[in-house]
Amino acid sequence: MEHSEMYNDLQEWLGLIGTREGDYYLKDGLLDDVYDWERDEVEEILYSNFIKDGSATIYFARYMPKLRNYNGIKALKKIVAKCKSVYKYQKNVLVVLLEETGDKKYLDMIIDLYHYWESRKQSAQMIGIISTLVHYCSPTEDIFNALSEVYIDSEYIYVQGIASTGLLYNVGFIKDIYNYTKEKDYKEKVHIFNMFITNDINKRIALVEKLRAGVPLGD
């Protein structure tokens, strides 16, 4: 009996983890696109790879809540419990737990990790953390507040850009965080996006207050 295309993709991808070709994620619908008779084996593959120590964990975190044969949330929490230092926090694990549980402590840990790399002026790490938060988690007031602080305090334009995108998504200005550049009115909104990239901290504060108060951005 032939396996599904997604099952074959998973097997091929497993052999690429840690290489440049393997530095991407399989799609969210992986468990929906395998055949039912493959499901138990695929879940075992995902779970066993997740609980391994090391970098492989980050690739499998997003699938843990979708497992039917394993307690994926418990597995995620165990990974967090093992972290004795901020620099060992795994952003992928934390954002999944934040999205699934709504527990603000995971947001606090994400921001602590951001500040750890900020103190070391590691902009690539900072960008990755905020981007993961913005793209994975649904809008909430807590996330808006956290992104506001990041946006206002950051001197890095790329961090400002990602954080402000998250703020605009949180207030509904952006409808589709993954494809907002394809929204029909995107061209008319470009000047709004550009407004948020500024070295003037007072302007950043004012823009956040406008968003918080629901004041039209063109005013």
Phi, psi of 181, deg, nearest 5: -70, -10
pLDDT of residue 90: 93
**CA geometry: angle 163, 168, 170, nearest 5 deg:** 90
The pLDDT averaged over each successive group of 10 residues in the chain (219 residues) is 93 83 78 96 94 78 95 95 92 96 98 98 97 96 98 97 97 94 92 95 97 84
Q: What pLDDT does residue 216 have?
A: 84
pLDDT at 29: 87
Model pLDDT, residue 19? 79
Q: Among residues 36, 88, 43, which one has the least CA distance to residue 65?
A: 43
pLDDT computed for residue 59 by the predictor:
86
- Look at residue 55 in the predicted model and tell me its pLDDT: 67
Q: What pLDDT score was predicted for residue 171?
A: 96
pLDDT in the model for residue 113: 98
The 10 Å Cβ neighbour count of residue 166 is 25
The answer to whether the CB of 168 falls within 8 A of the CB of 139 is no
Which tens digits make up the pLDDT trace of 73-82? 999 999 999 9
* Phi/psi-derived region of residue 54, left when phi > 0, alpha when psi is between -120 and 50, beta in every other case: left
Report pLDDT for 25: 75
What's the pLDDT score for residue 149? 98
Calculate ∠ Cα 18-62-118, nearest 5°.
70
